[in-house]
Structure 1
Amino acid sequence: MKVLYAFQGTGNGHVARAQEIVPILKKHVQVDTLISGHQSQLKSNFTVDFKYKGVSLLYNKAGGLSYRKTFLENNFFEAAKNIMDIDLSQYDLIINDFEPLTGWASRFNSVPIIELSHQASFGFKETPKPKTKNFLGELVLNNYVPCVRKIGFHFENYHVQIKKPVIRGKIRDLYPTKRGYYMVYLPSFSNENIMHVLKKIPVEWKVFTKNNSLHLKEGNVEIFPIDEIRYLEYFENCEGILCSAGFETPAEALFMEKKLFVIPIRNQYEQECNACALDQLGIPNSKTLNDEDIMKWVATDFDIKVNYPNVIEEILLNEVLTF
């Protein structure tokens, strides 16, 4: 059996999941890999066979999704050409983690495909969503990858086809402690906005950012460029983490029993849905980066426990490769 594992390169979560899934797949079948998108800071731990610029969501300095930048800085004509040119005829199955090029190419060429992603969970009505639906957001989630067969990942098993998060081995191997400082990963906010707010809150902050290549410290706020080794070291020993309402980072924080506060990226419907699901678990969130909400969170005790077992190989063997 020959499989193409195609994953999205926008953000780090898809790459982190691929780091776990691809080596398992290679134990059982022949695998090629494909990535599209250009916003991830994580590097894959395997050879990527095909790379495309694809289509990525882009953000402004205030932490909001920028439709203007997304439209102007993506080459949609190139993406459309890629869809028509990709040859999928040699594959028995496409496993797709929210990757649009192979999603649409498989539809035009009738190649078997299964979507295995966090975003796939939004195809089930049981998945938590805000009371006020976002028409454009729903349109993107439902059509970015046109796939009927779906297995989703989410914070809870909202449906039989929704599984618990894939926690990467680098996180499972940590021995978490709490040393009083807090971590921050808000990649859609500027360093200036983050520092302006956090300097008002008298605890130690370790901020990881893609917006700076130098290590900076100003008062109680220390800023680091993205570095996975240092990130994991600080994550292991932090008191809590302030981050966007993505999926993988909040899931890893819950697994590590860290205090968690999320700020969904403005105009990013998927993150609004994630914040809604986390709210049901008792995780605080805010629509803006403001010192009052964060100060209250820092002063609040945290006692939320989750069970995220390592069952991804079982899912792949019993529910994906049997497709």
Structure 2
Amino acid sequence: MKILYGVQATGNGHISRARAMGKYLAKAGIQVDYLFSGRPAEQLFDMQQFGDYQVKRGLTFVTEAGKVNYWQTLRQASVQTLWQDVKALDCSSYDLVLTDFEPITAHAAKQQKKRSVALGHQYAFLHKIPMEHANLVTHLMFRHFAPAQIRLGLHWHHFNQPILPPIIDEEPDEEHDAEHASKEANRVLVYLPFEDQQQVIGLLKPLTEFQFSLYGPGLAKATIGHIDTHPPALHAFKADLARCSHVLSNAGFELISEALQLQKHIMVKPLQGQMEQQSNALALQQLKLACRTDSLSTGAIAKWLNEKQQYGTVNYPNVASAICNWLLQDTPGEVNALSKTLWS
């Protein structure tokens, strides 16, 4: 079996899902070619797992200081380049096109009538789940941005809909168990890539009773008192995620999924003007899994760090392995059946 796997590279969450899926596709002996879009190639990191992958411009949202800048998004979008890439992509040698909200592979498969499967959190929004600031535009975007014949939506709860639990890039083993045992009570992982990083440092400086591991674009590896700053990195980030007790982040899906699985104390600050992140924050509130703030301040962070409230816990199955086995079937079963099996 040969798969073309398209990955939306705007955020690291889609790539993290591809890392998890890629491990099981490789174990199954499936040949996979990867295409990433939405971020320049020089901004990608720790990509050795994906071999000789392609990078295309695609489409992405421009953010500034924690808000979506729609004007800059429209200015920088190149629909002409997108459609040229769609037309130039030859899917004839592939048995399946798999897309994680990546538009070039999705539309190429649709035009060439190639078997296609979409997986990702965005496809959960085609069902009745908690949503904030949803409208016709957002509905059309989720339906048509990266379409496929079969759509596998992912979320933290099923909400009585045919959606799947999260795909988490972590395999429980003795090494991870040891890392969990060494969790530091006052260690906080901070990942707010859409915020002004210097402003974030300023907010954390007064909170000297905690040790912060701050990751973000433009940061260098340095120590500022009780704050360790890091550029984006895979293995160091995973290690800090394992040993921290608290996670402060925007409301992206994948990191929160990993933090929930590791039973971290979580606060999210959703990206303003981004319906998906605001809906994620709403779902976390309704499920009583995390704390939410819509504006960052030293006071809000301190209150969360010192609160005694207990949040719910989760224990998700190995979704990546299950989807891989499902894809390998000659005639994959109904998504409803796969959903019920995984949630059970």
Question: Normalized against structure 1, the TM-score is what?
Answer: 0.90
Q: Distance in 1 between matches of 2:60 and 2:184?
A: 35
Superposition map of 1:263-278 within 5 A: 263-278=269-284
Report if the CA contact (8 A) 1:59-1:188 is conserved.
yes
Q: Counterpart of 1:166?
A: 167
Aligned residue type for 1:101 = I
Secondary structure of residue in 2 paired with 1:163: coil
CA distance, structure 2, for counterparts of residue 296 and residue 320 of structure 1: 48
Equivalent pair of 1:16/1:42 in contact (CA under 8 Å)? no
Question: What is the RMSD of the two structures over their aligned residues, measured on CA atoms?
Answer: 2.2
Contact kept in structure 1, 2:126 and 2:139, CA below 8 Å: no
Q: Distance between the aligned counterparts of 1:43 and 1:288, measured in 2? A: 32
Q: In structure 1, what residue type is equivalent to 2:152? A: I
- Contact 1:241 1:258 survives alignment (8 Å): yes
Q: Does 1:178 align with 2:184?
A: yes
**Counterpart position of 1:10:** 10
SS in 2 for 1:151: strand
Deviation string 1:225-281 (CA, Å, 9 cap, x unpaired) is 223232222222212010010011111111111100001111111111111111122
2:279 counterpart SS class: helix
- In structure 1, the partner of 2:86 is 83
User: How far off is 1:28 after superposition?
Assistant: 4.3
Tell me the SS of whatever aligns to 2:67. Answer: coil
Q: CA separation in 1, counterparts of 2:188 and 2:146?
A: 36
The one-character-per-residue Cα deviations of 1:6-48 (angstroms, maximum 9, x if unpaired) are 1111111111111121232232433222221217654331214
**Alignment partner, residue 95 of structure 1:** 98
Q: Establish whether residue 206 from structure 1 lines up as the match of residue 213 from structure 2.
A: yes
Of the candidates 110, 116, 126, which is equivalent to residue 123 of structure 1?
A: 126
2:242 paired with 1:236:
yes
Match of 2:59 in 1: 55
**3-state DSSP of counterpart to 1:227:** coil
> Aligned partner of 2:167: which letter?
V
Deviation of the 1:182 alpha carbon: 1.1
- Deviation for aligned residue 1:69: 2.5
Measured after TM superposition, the shift of residue 167 of structure 1 is 1.5
Deviation string for 1:63-111 (max 9, x for gaps)? 1111123223343321121011111122221111110011112222211
How far did residue 155 of structure 1 move?
0.8
1:194 aligns with 2:200: yes
Contact 2:121–2:154, Cα closer than 8 Å, also in 1: yes
Answer whether contact 2:189 2:248 (CA < 8 A) is retained. Answer: yes
- Cα shift readout 1:127-179 (whole Å, capped 9, x = no counterpart): 2212x424433332222112342111111123553111112136765222133
- TM-score, with structure 2 as normaliser: 0.85
Structure 1 match to 2:252: 246
Tell me the amino acid that sits aligned with residue 278 of structure 1.
L
Q: Is the 8 A contact 2:220 2:229 kept in 1?
A: no
Query: In terms of mean alpha carbon deviation, does 198-207 or 76-85 score higher?
Result: 198-207
Work out the number of aligned pairs and report it: 319
Distance 1:64 1:17, change over 3 A: same
Distance 1:36 1:159 in 2: 33
- Would the alpha carbon gap of residues 292 and 142 (structure 1) be closer, same or farther in structure 2, given more than 3 Å must change? farther
What amino acid does structure 2 have at the position aligned with 1:36? S
1:171/1:235 Cα in 2 relative to 1: closer, same or farther (>3 Å)? farther
